[in-house]
Amino acid sequence: MSEIRLYVTSTERGATEILDILSEVFGEEDFAIATTEVDEKKDIWEASVYMMAEDEEAVRERIAEGLAQAFPALEIQREVIPDIDWIAKSLEGLKPVRAGRFIVHGSHDRDKVKVNDIAIEIDAGQAFGTGHHGTTAGCLEVIEDVMRARPVRNALDLGTGSGVLAIAVRKLRNIPVLATDIDPVAVRVARENVRRNGIATGIRLETAPGFHSPAFDREGPFDLIIANILARPLMKMAPQLAAHLAPGGSVILSGILAGQRWKVLAAYSGVRLAHVRTIWRNGWVTIHLRSR
């Protein structure tokens, strides 16, 4: 069965608003939703929903209904996705990424690691997080700053993907890390990456949607919580996230488009988390918050 991409074209601001609408329409259903910059000079962006061919008709109707009020004139376009491992293919030949002292590299670039680097080896695979995306690189930069400035005794990597951020924390400090993801494939990939990076103990991996697992109460509260997901689920889970944060603890949030920053900050201000710093990378932001 073929995979289909349905997409609409807009400006960056329009694509951000469309992403919010589509996230609301599809909630936590198993459809990938994304925005992509097509032409920087002309400010052309695409907002896409990915699905299997059998779901196309129903998904198209829901997209049209969701966008009818705010974007009634947009044409929904269609693309058939070839049966290719696009993650692996798109990352072939990518250079190592540096974020602070961290260098994230594939196995073919081990020779690029310098003496004082904190090296994390992640090959292209089935889970998000190789360091090349602005959200992952932003999180790595803030993780180093937070852990250098304040004592951290335990950490949570919520939505771990490839496990790169949990590995980064563990390589910086010998503390327990709980790493969770809604996708069991991601958890399996993360477990393989943890072993690949020579970490025998200290990272506990769990398949868990949101905060629905006894592991959070068992392992928490956490001095550091990292959540590189998407803006809307981050806003929804703000009360639960704050409830699992230790007094004086830090939160690092990413997966947030620049235009969504203020909505996320408002949600977390409402649960008494104070804004410390925001960094921008390639149209995405990473936000550091601290318990008041």
- pLDDT tens per residue across all 292 residues of the chain: 578 889 999 998 898 899 889 988 887 676 778 787 888 788 899 998 888 888 999 999 999 999 999 998 899 999 987 765 544 554 455 577 888 889 888 887 888 889 888 999 987 654 444 445 668 888 999 999 999 988 999 999 999 988 999 999 999 999 999 999 988 888 999 999 999 999 989 999 999 887 888 899 999 899 999 999 888 899 999 999 999 999 999 999 998 888 888 999 999 999 999 999 999 887 789 999 999 8
In the 8-state DSSP scheme, what is residue 201? S
Give the contacts of 128 (CB within 8 A, at least 6 positions apart). Answer: 136, 161, 162, 186
pLDDT at 127: 40
Can you give the pLDDT at residue 29?
A: 74
The confidence score (pLDDT) of residue 253 equals 96
Backbone angles phi, psi at 90, to 5 degrees: -70, -25
Q: Identify the pLDDT of residue 175.
A: 95
DSSP percent split of the chain into helix, strand, coil, nearest 5: 40, 30, 30
Domains and CATH numbers, the chain: 3-83 (3.30.70.2860), 88-291 (3.40.50.150)
pLDDT (0 to 100) of residue 124 = 65
Position 125 scores a pLDDT of 54
Q: What is the pLDDT of residue 162?
A: 87
Q: For residue 7, which of 40, 37, 29 has the smallest C-alpha distance?
A: 37
CB proximity list for 242: less than 8 A, separation 6 or greater: 268, 271, 272, 273, 291
